Structure 1
């Protein structure tokens, strides 16, 4: 049983969100791309379709200094090296030329190996501060390949053993290094003299072309392992649309070759951004063969609503395999219009979202529950409202002394004793209401099902206190539809339980309609509520997040943790205080506490049990109200 738990913990490994964001900012600075993302994969990699770079997991579980320098070397190589120094046109031609070669993976990997050497030397010459990271990189990767060579030979992987030899020799292993693959090592040795003369991608390709005839007939199999992924995915933009065959043929050859990775990223991302607007979907996915006459063309705008709907053949959902009718998600005024997420972070570029107003529960059972919960909480509501009113009144009576104008102070002696006297005072301007706005986000994922009653009770208490104080607040439940989510479209819904503009309206009957849905995309939800709070005129803005775990949505695992942490930091930079309440039937574990600290900093609290939700909500709200009144 112990071994199973260890296995699960290893595969559910936490990332340090703060460190990831720091490295992401470095990647953005080196490339000049403001919204570039960063992730981890088996090998370093460019992912233009996702507008992100990938570091290698090779550096995990090492000494912290080694991990830091190793990851820096990944970023230097990708963002300061391959980004602008790798010739995509030459690479594309070579990939095409070796498509039918039985040793194509070896030859392609050899080019990338030579390019790593050339580009590393160029970056170190231009940026001397990168030398320490690159030196460590060469040492550890050299040791890795040196150790792997005899292992590959024992398994009959001669191509892999030769590649291990090439890396060890080219990247400067000690003089006492001896290859276990003596025959082929001696055969390719003359070619290696030209490696250090390479000044471009084309030069590296020519060296690989000299290797090819030497290996013909001597290697019966290609590489068994993958050593480089940096060249994958660099073949040009791909559309997210499913083009009908009549239009697909017309698209061939329209995108020109890009000279650098940076230009490819720019073109790819610009193309994706331009393909917005619902007016494109029907014609491209359901149109007939042939050209349109262009008479109905109009410029697309983000958020444009559908003016017509179509019904096509059913197709299986990518995740569930369950058939859905094309056009089944028709937009109506009742359900809210779907909008494309723009400016919500790279992790949410494929998100579409809608806002809905929750229904009112007029059932007798709902009314009885509201009355019961309010009877239990009324002493707490009265106490906190009375306390806040006293604080506000006390603020009104405070005097501001030492002013250049106003009412004359009762002790004007300072006029005679100071060179520039300020003998006037003023009373604080009276305030009719607290100058603060509160946004509450409630996790609507499926795991909330067993906590709904206590969550509703806590949300109702939150609503009643702020309503009694005539304080602006908005309450929304957020969730992602897991059954409909695909790589190119992740539908999210925000259901308003109480809107900011509703002011003192009693929305207790809507709060009782809080339901559990599917997944939760926390970073996206934080950014969504942040935008609404920034539109408020109040001086103090607070954002509370009630959730029962970590982010979980389509393609939103570890990068969801980073995205949430970044969203929280962005909100706080704009003056919004973010507080997280962990809703659970048991105290948070050490792992959960560390996770929440990464995402929400030191502003994350947890209830010890389900029946403590309301108590924690009351405690948090009281502290925030005291903070707001103290800064009036």
Structure 2
């Protein structure tokens, strides 16, 4: 388990809200969302990146800022921008001495253009973008002053461009470079597509490259990482799916010409004709070549119908499963995995507890005697509460005559009767306790066992079925495609109230990594199948989930697993074991994952004193 808190924490609930919004806007469940330094949409990777710019803002502003970025990238760039042109023109700008300035200006102008289209299509977003502009204007106002003091000319100019473009009224600024591009810059308001935005940037490029001799230092806006081979790789991948397996052979001259091919300077004459063009249908199931049709035909009425049909078709998929071991259950592939998209390749096996050794039995008896007083007090409280409830609900106007006959004289309408066997004195409840057995528990496990023994003995005395499991991921054998997890069943529901059961708890040890979200999903599926009315899942942990390909996503995955478990009717409580006084970051982490249903112990010994009132509260809740 990775100890907290070395970097900024992710607000899991907010992130998942943004992710759901992204799915709705992109109309693709295969897409994914992640945090990055700058926001962008990557059509090749099918992902949206939201920026860290909003991290230190007020929670309301942070939510608005992230939402505006999802709208811009998932809706604006996906549906209102030409991503092929954006990528190709950005590659061409890399040859400019002002490549950073021009690229960021290109992104800014496209953001503002698509923003207007989004507000037109979804009027409810107007307030979001208004607040976004206010926050960014404050930011660029302060940035302008900083860049002025440092004499960063290109950065100053970019700040002025943003302030001029987002002002409610016309503003002109006294800056020699801005004066040369001011009129051209405002042409961006008339751009109706990505190509026209590009022409505006080209004009500015022509004016500035000769006079502005330094590029931008800061990075405010950006695009997906530019890889000149990415688009070609995507075409080759598409070619592999074609029905015909013919491959075009290129001679040496053709290969050389292809390698030397470069993008030419853009001109308005390159703009397509007004008529809509369609490639011939045969090319969609053609050969694996780079041949394109030499002639295009004008669209016909039937073309749109054909496009609609093809747009709804999906590629069938089959899974090729290898032989599974008898003690492991592999998750499915990324598409439709039942254990979450962050757990692809994760597998698990249940490890049975071995027969306790004499030393473990002796150690258990010592701990049992230590917690015996707490167990008796808890049992007495619960039994007394059950008895009071049984007596209160048994008082009827008819049935068998009870013993409290004094009520004839003290009450106007005395309830003197009861129904035999109408109330069961057994609690309709079950528990499952999960203990994080990651390596970071090495100095807490012995004390934690005392709390686990208290938990077990208290429930066993009340004849409440329960299970206790340690869990960890085998980091030494973990690979990208195979991540083995172990669930050590020291106490099972079947034998939990059997006399003599308990010393198996001493077998718990600190091990390696932990994949909390995955294990919670596994146990939730088992717990939900039990017949009891009330089902509690308690998770002992001492830090962030941490495993292979899981560090950045563990909080989100665990939050989502807890959320899904609660939808199934389980009550999930997180219990954090801190070292020393609890930190503010600890509470933030637990709230992100478990919402308000968590407990923080200042150390492992303090946990034992808090587990008793927690159990009492949960049990009394089931009696009400």
TM-score, L = length of structure 1:
0.70
Match of residue 136, structure 2, among 141, 146, 159 = 141
Deviations 1:277-312 (A, max 9, x none): xxxxxxxxxxxxxxxxxxxxxx426xx4x44xxxxx
- 1:112, CA displacement in angstroms? 1.8
* Corresponding position of 2:616: 622
Which structure exhibits the higher relative contact order, with contacts defined as CA atoms closer than 8 Å and separated by 6 or more residues?
Answer: 2
Question: Could you list the per-position Cα deviations for residues 404-431 of structure 1 after superposition, in whole angstroms to 9, with x for gaps in the alignment?
Answer: xx96999xxxxxxxxxxxxx98556454
Could you tell me whether the CA contact under 8 Å between 1:358 and 1:513 is conserved in 2? no
- How far the C-alpha of 1:542 sits from its partner, in A, is 0.3
Structure 1 CA distance, aligned partners of 2:501 and 2:105? Answer: 66
Q: Is the counterpart of residue 339 in structure 1 residue 334 in structure 2?
A: no
Counterpart of 2:451 in structure 1 is 458
Distance 1:235 1:492 in 2: 40
Structure 2 residue ranges without an equivalent (≥5):
243-278, 280-310, 403-416
Aligned equivalent of 2:577: 583
1:47 is displaced (CA, Å) by 6.3
> What is the match of residue 73 of structure 1?
68
3-state DSSP class of the match of 2:431? strand
What is the match of residue 354 of structure 1?
A: 348
Q: Partners of 2:73 and 2:366 in 1: how far apart?
A: 61
Query: Could you tell me which residue of structure 1 aligns to residue 126 of structure 2?
Result: 131
Q: Kindly report which structure 2 residues correspond to 1:411-426, keeping only aligned pairs within 5 A, or say none.
A: none
Per-residue CA shift, 1:321-375, capped at 9, x if unaligned?
Answer: xxxxxxxxxx7556x35435824444x2445131231442643321211222233
* Separation of aligned partners in 2, 1:179 and 1:160: 15
**Is 1:596 the equivalent of 2:615?**
no
Secondary structure (helix, strand or coil) at the match of 1:519 reads: coil
Q: Secondary structure at the match of 2:444?
A: helix
Asked whether the equivalents of residues 448 and 605 of structure 2 are also in contact (C-alpha less than 8 Å), the reply is no
**CA distance, structure 2, for counterparts of residue 120 and residue 45 of structure 1:** 14
Cα offset for 1:50? Answer: 8.5
Q: What is the correspondence of 1:214-613 to structure 2 with a 5 Å cutoff? A: 214-219=207-212, 222-232=215-225, 251=237, 253-254=239-240, 299-300=318-319, 304=321, 306-307=322-323, 333=326, 336-340=328-332, 342-346=337-341, 348-350=342-344, 352-360=346-354, 362-382=356-376, 384-385=378-379, 388=382, 399=393, 429=422, 431=424, 433-482=426-475, 491-502=484-495, 504=497, 508-554=502-548, 556=550, 559-584=553-578, 586-613=580-607
How many Å apart are 1:173 and its aligned residue?
A: 7.3
Structure 1 position 120 matched with structure 2 position 115: yes
Distance of aligned partners of 1:248 and 1:211 in 2 relative to their CA distance in 1, 3 Å threshold: closer
For structure 1, list consecutive stretches of 5 or more residues without a partner in the other structure.
1-7, 239-246, 258-266, 275-298, 308-330, 411-423
Structure 1 residues 123 and 48, CA, compared in 2 at 3 Å: closer, same or farther? closer
Closer/same/farther in 2, CA of residues 532 and 52 from structure 1, 3 Å limit:
farther
Measured after TM superposition, the shift of residue 540 of structure 1 is 0.8
TM-score (norm 2): 0.71
Per-residue CA shift, 1:115-136, capped at 9, x if unaligned? 1111111122233333233233
1:178: Cα distance to partner? Answer: 1.3
Count of matched residue pairs:
536
200, 204, 211: which is aligned to 2:197?
204
Post-superposition offset of 1:469: 4.0
CA–CA separation in structure 2 for the residues paired with 1:255 and 1:160: 46
Contact 2:449 2:506 in 1 (8 A): yes
- Give secondary structure in 2 for the equivalent of 1:512: helix
The residue correspondences of 1:157-168 to structure 2 (distance < 5 A) are: 158-168=153-163
Give secondary structure in 2 for the equivalent of 1:229.
coil
On the 8 A contact 1:14/1:558 being kept in 2, the answer is no
1:366-400 Cα offsets, whole Å, 9 max, x none, are 12112222333445445544654565566666657
What's the RMSD between the two structures over aligned residues?
A: 4.5
> Using a 3 Å threshold, how does the CA distance of structure 1 residues 252 and 85 change in structure 2: closer, same or farther?
closer
**2:486 & 2:211 partners in 1: Cα distance?**
60
Cα distance in 2 for partners of 1:558, 1:149 equals: 34
* Aligned-partner SS, 2:366: helix
Greater alpha carbon shift after TM alignment, 108-117 vs 141-150: 141-150
Q: Which position in structure 2 is the counterpart of 1:82?
A: 77
Q: 1:178 maps to which residue?
A: 173
Return the offset for 1:490: 5.3
Distance 1:201 1:355, change over 3 A: same
Cα offset for 1:157?
5.3
Q: How many angstroms does 1:516 deviate by?
A: 1.2
Counterpart contact for 2:185–2:204, Cα < 8 Å: no
- Mapped to 2, the partners of 1:34 and 1:407 lie a distance apart of 60
Superposition deviation, residue 590 in structure 1: 3.9
